[in-house]
Amino acid sequence: ELKIGNEQDIHTWEQVTLVYHSALKQINTKIEIMNDEFQQVHRYNPIEHIKARIKTSESIVKKLKRHGYESTIENMVKYVNDIAGIRVICSFTNDIYTIADIISNQSDIRIIAVKDYIMNPKASGYRSYHMVVTVPVYLSDRIIDTKVEIQIRTVAMDFWASLEHKIQYKFEGNAPTHINTELLECAHMVSELDARMLSLNNEILEIASKLENQKME
Ligand code: 0O2
């Protein structure tokens, strides 16, 4: 029988990469299946694309240091929630909540934390929906519930976040005030764009469904 383990059973960097890679693969497959089903049933793809990554060891160590923790494997798995990260990019804001709901309802997934930076954007203007979940990874002798951070955002939010991330990286977090102000203004434009594109899409869907009904009468 398989033992129920947890992340505290992870002791080496090799184990970290194996377990977190496996967790990423599982979440990736779940999301792909969701997209395939939507395509078949609704003739619609809620997902534009998916990006998955394992955080580099340098980046993990930096994060631990920032939070005042020693760089041990135990601290990595305990305190760094995004060792395995997956980003789901969709077209419209309502798709974000549909995707989040479907993931939350899967019985092998446990939700650890949710941060809705769409309802509550960050001071930088950052918008995105974050979930930290665990997924069971089956090894030969044990099952390890492993954390994965899922970030769900629209194409427009992603466009903004990519540029902002690049800028903060270049200036090491100390960008000139006028650049931060401009970024914040762009974030408002992105938010407005998302709202208008969603409302346009809803109008189009309504017209399409009316036409469909007329055909059937
Ligand atoms: P990378 O390079 O993307 O991996 P903390 O990271 O400790 O401040 P927490 O609770 O771990 O906080 O995470 P949070 O705030 O839910 O999300 C952290 C991740 O969200 C970041 O990862 C970014 O990917 C993204 N993010 C959060 N705020 C911003 C922002 O203002 N601008 C952009 N562009 N991205 C943001 P990392 O590890 O910082 O970086």
What tens digit of pLDDT does each residue of 52-82 get?
A: 999 999 999 999 999 999 999 999 999 999 9
Q: CA-CA distance, 144 to 133, in Å (whole number)?
A: 13
Does residue 6 carry a pLDDT above 80?
no
Q: Token pair 């997209």 is at which residue?
A: 35
The 3-state DSSP class for residue 70 equals coil
Best residue for ligand 1 mutational test, from 63, 75, 165, 179 (most atoms within 8 Å of Cβ): 165
Q: Token pair 């997956």 is at which residue?
A: 86
CA 20 to centroid of ligand 1, rounded, Å: 18
**ipTM, two decimals:** 0.91
What ligand 1 atom has the least distance to the C-alpha of 124?
31
The 3-state DSSP class for residue 106 equals coil
Q: Where are the alpha helices (DSSP H) in the chain?
A: 13-42, 57-66, 73-79, 93-104, 155-170, 177-216
CA 136 to centroid of ligand 1, rounded, Å: 24
Give 97-155 pLDDT, tens digit per residue: 999 999 999 999 999 999 999 999 999 999 999 999 999 999 988 999 999 999 999 99
Q: What is the DSSP letter of 43?
A: S
Which band of pLDDT confidence, cut at 50, 70 and 90, is reported for residue 187? very high
The torsion angles phi and psi of 164, rounded to 5 degrees, stand at -60, -40
Which band of pLDDT confidence, cut at 50, 70 and 90, is reported for residue 215? confident
Q: What is the pLDDT of residue 216?
A: 84
Mean predicted lDDT score pLDDT of the chain? 94
Query: Residues near 57 by Cβ (< 8 Å), separated by ≥ 6?
Result: 13
Residue 125: name the closest of 88, 96, 97, 153 by CA: 153
CA 205 to centroid of ligand 1, rounded, Å: 35
CB-hemisphere CA count at 13 Å for 76? 23
The 3-state DSSP class for residue 13 equals helix
CA distances for 86 relative to 3, 105, 205, angstroms: 27, 18, 29
CA 160 to centroid of ligand 1, rounded, Å: 14
Q: What is the pLDDT of residue 43?
A: 84
Does residue 8 carry a pLDDT above 80?
no
Residues within a 6 A CB radius of ligand 1:
55, 63, 81-82, 115, 122, 124, 126, 130, 161, 164-165
CA 201, 204, 208, 214 torsion-angle sign: positive
CA distances for 135 relative to 92, 97, 101, 129, 158, angstroms: 27, 20, 16, 19, 25
Residue 129: its H or E element: strand 129-138
Give 174-185 pLDDT, tens digit per residue: 999 999 999 999
Which domains are delineated in the chain?
Answer: 3-212 (3.30.460.10)
